[in-house]
Amino acid sequence: MLKMIVCMKQVPMVSDLPWDPVTGTLTRDAAEGMMNPACKHALEAALELKERHGGHITAITMGPPMAEEILREAIALGADRCLMVSDRKIAGADTLATSFTLARAIEIFCPDFDLILCGCHTSDSETAQVGPQLSEELNIPSIAVVEDLELHGNTLRVKRVSDNFLETLEMDLPGLVTVATGFHVPRYASMAGLHDAFREPGILTVGAHDLGVSESVVGLKGSATRIVDIFSPVAKKENIVLKGAPKKIVEELLDRFDDKIGSLIRKDLKAVG
């Protein structure tokens, strides 16, 4: 039986988030969360493998307590088991500390896995680093941003487009893949399924103590990078604002900027006309 782990992250639904000016990290509990879109694709790839070959899926997340929601969603979608890694001590981790912490959790709570699937990147910090770094930490092979996955015995064969190359690659399991978005179409959880998933008893939650890690190697303290500041990019330009009914706007646009638009497009217009 193929034993799979899907690592997932809860990301904020809104894009203008408050951040903690002292630590320079985001105050995640202030915003409404959702399952990171790319993680849905990773879960879908796992579910498709399970349908074809049989198997068992453990969904893992690391985050604040509210991130439990996405694990329940994973159950509703077909995951068999969940693990929540949550502790104030591990908060504020960069990808180095995150991959370290996840690796310890996997080693202790699901050591006999065959395949780990991660989303190819998150929608909030977008580093695409945790998957590859987790494979390093666990000392297993990995392939990033894969599309098609085929299992042949203990060998996983994948296709992907990497830079300008269409590649077919294979590795023996255990191994890790990060899954491309746009190839596997994530299924929806039924309302009944969600209802049941949220009524299930508590999800196994572990903290730094359970992982046997010291505070100095996890969370913000265990991170190599520091956020100096976060700011909003401003591209300032003196511009002309047009408002009103579309028809009127369009007439004004074409009349007023005839020198800019008309002169350039008139030739093409005649050819088309």
Partner 1 sequence: MAQKRRSIWVFGDYRNYFQNRVTLQLLSRATDLAKKIDAEVCATVFGHEVDEWVGEYIAHGASKVYVCDNPKLKYYSTDTYVALMERIVSQYGPEIILVGATSFGREFTPRLAKRLKTGLTADCVGLDINDEGLLVQTAPAFGGSLLTRIITPEKRPQMATVRPGVFQEIPHNYQAKGEIVNVPLPGDLPRDRVRLLSSERQPAREQKLGEAPVVVCGGRGMGSKARFKNLYELARVLGGEVGATRPVVYAKWADEDALVGQADRHISPKVLFSFGVSGAIQHTAGIKNAGFIIAVNKNPNAAMMKMADVAIVADASQVCTALIRELKKRIRT
Stated as kind and residue range, the H or E segment containing 212 is none
Least CB distance from residue 20 to partner 1, whole Å? 13
Round to whole Å and give the CA distance between 119 and 100: 17
Nearer to partner 1, 5 or 144 (CB): 144
Nearer to partner 1, 58 or 142 (CB): 142
Nearer to partner 1, 76 or 145 (CB): 145
Q: Is the separation of the CB atoms in 87 and 208 below 8 Å? A: yes
Stated as kind and residue range, the H or E segment containing 85 is strand 81-85
Least CB distance from residue 91 to partner 1, whole Å? 17
Nearer to partner 1, 86 or 133 (CB): 133
Q: Given the structure tokens 């309302």, which residue do they identify?
A: 191
Round to whole Å and give the CA distance between 222 and 62: 15
SS3 194: helix
Supply 14's token pair: 């809104």
126 Cβ contact list (under 8 Å, min separation 6): none
Nearer to partner 1, 27 or 125 (CB): 125
Q: Is the separation of the CB atoms in 137 and 119 below 8 Å? A: no
Least CB distance from residue 75 to partner 1, whole Å? 26
Q: Which amino acid, one-letter code, is at 49?
A: L
Least CB distance from residue 36 to partner 1, whole Å? 12
Least CB distance from residue 121 to partner 1, whole Å? 8
